[in-house]
Amino acid sequence: MISLIYGIVFILSVILSAGYIYIWHKHFDVNFTMVFTLVPIACAGYVLLANSTDLGSAITSTQLIYIGGSFLQFFIAMSIFNLCKINVPKWVRTLMFVVCLLMYGSVLSAGRSNLFYRSATLDLVDGTPVLVKEYGPMHTLFYVLLIIFFIAGIAAIVYSYFKKKQIPRRILSLLLIPDIVCVMGYFATKLFDLTFEFVPIGYVLAEFVYLLIAYRVNLYDVSDTVIDSMVQETSIGYISFDFKNRYLGSNDVAKALIPELNDVAVDEVFGYKTAQRKVRHYLDGFKNDPANNTFLFTVTDGSGNTDNDRYYNVNVNYLYDGNRKRGYIVTFADDTKNRKYIKLLDNYNEDLKAEVEEKTSHIVKMHDNLIMSLAMMVESRDNSTGGHIKRTSEGVRILIDEIRKEGILDLDPEFCKDVIKAAPMHDLGKIAVDDAILRKPGPGRFEPDEYEKMKTHAAEGARVIHEILKNTDDERFKVIAENVAHYHHERYDGSGYPDRLVGDDIPLEARIMAIADVYDALVSKRVYKEAYDFKKADSIIMEGMGTQFDPKLKSAYENARPRLEEYYSKV
pTM score: 0.46
Whether the CB-CB separation of 384 and 528 falls below 8 Å is answered with: yes
Cis (ω within 30 of 0) for the bond into 498?
A: yes
β-bridge partners, 333: 236, 313
For residue 480, the Cα-to-chain-centroid distance in whole angstroms is 42
Contact 111, 55 (CB under 8 A): yes
Stretch (H or E) spanning 319: strand 310-321
Measured CA to CA, the distance from residue 59 to residue 106 in angstroms comes to 13
Domain boundaries, the chain: 2-220, 233-334, 354-570
Which residues, 6+ apart, have CB-to-CB distance to 297 below 8 Å?
A: 257, 278, 311, 312, 313, 314, 332
186 vs 73, 142, 203, 310, CA distance in Å?
A: 11, 12, 10, 65
pLDDT value at residue 527: 65
At the topology level, CATH places domain 354-570 in Hypothetical protein af1432 (1.10.3210)
Architecture of domain 233-334: 2-Layer Sandwich (3.30)
Q: What is the pLDDT of residue 167?
A: 75
Q: What is the pLDDT of residue 344?
A: 72
Of all helices (H) and strands (E), which one includes residue 122? Answer: strand 117-125
Distance CA 33, CA 43 (A): 16
- Predicted confidence at residue 289, as pLDDT, reads 87
By the 8 A CB rule, do 16 and 208 touch?
Answer: yes
User: CA-CA distances (angstroms) from residue 353 to 47, 347, 359, 543?
Assistant: 85, 10, 10, 51
The greatest distance separating any two alpha carbons of the chain, rounded to the nearest whole angstrom, comes to 149
Is 488:513 a contact under the CB 8 Å cutoff? yes
Q: How many CB atoms lie within 10 A of CB 436?
A: 9
Distances (CA, A) of 569 to 519, 520, 523, 537: 13, 12, 10, 14
Question: Residue 225 has what pLDDT?
Answer: 44
Distance from C-alpha of 21 to C-alpha of 23, rounded to nearest angstrom: 6
Nearest Cα residue to 386 out of 422, 438, 429: 438
pLDDT the model gives residue 559: 92
Please return the burial class of 250, using the count of CB atoms within 10 Å of its CB with bins 0-12, 13-18 and 19+. Answer: buried
DSSP 5-72: HHHHHHHHHHHHHHHHHHH--TTS-HHHHHHHHHHHHHHHHHHHHHT--SHHHHHHHHHHHHHHHHHH
Beta strand 236-242 with 324-334: parallel, antiparallel or unpaired?
A: antiparallel
Tell me the CATH number for domain 2-220: 1.20.1070
What does the DSSP 8-state code read for residue 529? B
- Run means of pLDDT, 10 residues per run, the chain, 571 residues: 85 91 77 88 88 87 87 87 86 92 89 85 77 84 86 87 78 76 67 66 84 69 48 71 88 84 85 75 86 83 72 87 82 82 70 68 61 61 61 90 86 88 83 66 66 82 83 82 90 92 92 92 78 90 92 92 89 75
